């Protein structure tokens, strides 16, 4: 996280191997009650705390959520899709390999879609350097920094991919 000023806070993070995101919360001035939340440069919410009805999972938990997330909070989700494709040789009607290749998705439909729940909260509306971002219940400052590690291609039997990673190699 990088506090820009008492009226602006910004977080940059990566979901998966390529999806980089920026979440920014801002007020026009320190005395303003209007809070602006931008996700990837696009306006998501602009409102005062009293105008922004946070619909948590259960109305009875609202007071607990207010204590947990502060005076202003916005809950939103990132929706994404994973993909892992194998380059395979095409076959003729008898199953003989051809010289042409095609790409086949290796993940099942259940493995492809994912959701990341985010909560931006402001414990102190007068000082946005106190703003918090949680992703799937983990505070941003508790997350590991992305480190790019060069890796070799995986070379193993298809059975190992199935047992270790749940991946079925297309045949």
pLDDT in tens, 111-157: 888 899 999 999 888 889 999 999 999 999 998 887 777 778 777 88
**Backbone phi and psi for residue 9, each to the nearest 5 degrees, phi listed first:** -135, 140
Task: Report which secondary-structure segment, H or E, holds 12.
Answer: strand 8-15
Among 141, 122, 120, 35, residue whose Cα is nearest residue 78? 120
Among 136, 148, 147, 145, residue whose Cα is nearest residue 11? 145
pLDDT in tens, 70-119: 578 899 999 988 888 888 888 899 988 899 999 888 888 888 888 999 99
What residues contact residue 18 under an 8 Å CB cut-off, 6+ apart? none
pLDDT in tens, 16-52: 877 899 999 999 888 888 999 999 999 999 988 777 6
Kindly state the average pLDDT of the residues 158-167: 83
Separation between Cα atoms, residue 122 and residue 74, nearest integer Å: 9
What's the predicted TM-score (pTM) here?
0.71
**What pLDDT sits at residue 57?**
45
């Amino acid at each position: 996280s990088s506090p820009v000023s008492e009226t602006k806070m910004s977080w940059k993070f990566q979901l998966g191997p390529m999806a980089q995101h920026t979440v920014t919360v801002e007020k026009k001035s320190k005395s303003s009650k209007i809070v602006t939340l931008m996700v990837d440069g696009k306006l998501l919410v602009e409102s005062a705390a009293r105008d922004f009805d946070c619909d948590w999972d259960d109305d009875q938990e609202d007071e607990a959520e207010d204590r947990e997330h502060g005076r202003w909070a916005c809950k939103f989700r990132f929706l994404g899709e994973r993909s892992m494709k194998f380059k395979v040789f095409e076959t003729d009607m008898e199953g003989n390999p051809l010289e042409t290749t095609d790409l086949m998705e290796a993940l099942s439909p259940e493995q492809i879609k994912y959701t990341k729940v985010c909560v931006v909260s402001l414990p102190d509306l007068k000082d946005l350097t106190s703003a918090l971002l949680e992703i799937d219940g983990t505070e941003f400052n508790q997350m590991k920094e992305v480190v790019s590690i060069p890796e070799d291609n995986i070379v193993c039997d298809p059975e190992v991919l199935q047992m270790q990673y749940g991946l079925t190699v297309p045949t």
